[in-house]
Amino acid sequence: MEFDIVEWFKAVFLGIVEGITEWLPISSTGHMILVDEFIKMDISKEFKALFLVVIQLGAILAVVMLYFKRLWPFSAKERYFICKDKFSMWFKIFVACIPAGVIGILFDDQIDELLMKPIVVVVTLILYGFIFIVLEKKKIGERPRVESIDGLTYRDALMIGIFQLLALVPGTSRSGATIIGGMLIGCARPVAAEFTFFLAVPVMAGASLIKSVKFGMENGFSLSGNETMILVTGMVVAFAVSVVVIRFLMSYIRKHDFVVFGWYRIVLGLVLLGYFCL
């Protein structure tokens, strides 16, 4: 297949959307589905499903780069080269991955078939927009119980992982679900956000691996030149945009709450509801 400049520009745009929406609590998958309603990529349905998931690897690499020292559990300065506090954090991340990992593997096809629809995205955008606003109003003046990731217990991690199950419904937002969960159990906003970033690494890498293997088994483990170009472009753009957005979000939430994101979700959901009802 020859190089298609139009599809390349679409991949760039989708990479920008992914990089922005993956980390802000406004639903990356939801936005990608909705954008696809207006920007139709000239690719197969199977490759599109692969693209919308694997493009997230670029966003993951942004987290790994920005937080490498916090994530890497080995050090020549430590006894046996093992940083116990970082290994403990990774065990908590593993515990948080279990609920969504099990349900995602067992019901991946059913979720795609039943829930990957614009109206589902619209409803969840509005619903969780209200939840963010109510939660933030309720939390005014409350002192967080957990003010660092080291303060998270394994029970806390499991509870956040259970909240992550909500994100299996498109439009919910994985970061939004886990941040809401973290705040409800007493985490400070920066702690809930950072744990969400770290939790994304194995969760999104696993989802990308599953989609890639499934695509390969059903369509062959090879991509055309145009498909490779689209995939790589989306990942690179998502990586670059994610670096900027993660830095912005961590700076923003130290001084502000999530109410603005709640209102954004509601307004966007209402606009799209009007569009799809016409």
Query: Is the pLDDT score of 218 beyond 70?
Result: yes
Residue-level pLDDT at 186: 93
Q: Indicate whether 129 pLDDT > 60.
A: yes
Tens digit of each residue's pLDDT (9 = 90 or more) over 179-198? 999 999 999 999 999 999 99
Residue 187, strand partner residues? 146
CA dist 139 and 187 (Å) reads 11
Cα dihedral 41→47→52→55 (10° resolution): -100
Greatest mean pLDDT among 28-42, 82-96, 214-228, 237-251 lies in 237-251
Residue 54 to residues 108, 132, 145, 209, Cα–Cα distance (Å): 15, 28, 36, 8
Global pTM reads: 0.86
Residue 181's domain comprises: 5-277
Domain count, the chain: 1
Which CA distances in Å does 216 have to 15, 104, 172, 222? 22, 19, 28, 7
Segments in 148-188 forming alpha helices (H): 154-164, 174-184
pLDDT of residue 3: 60
From the list 28, 6, 8, the residue with the least C-alpha distance to 227 is 8
The residue assigned the tokens 């939004």 is 176
Question: What per-residue confidence (pLDDT) applies to 134?
Answer: 92
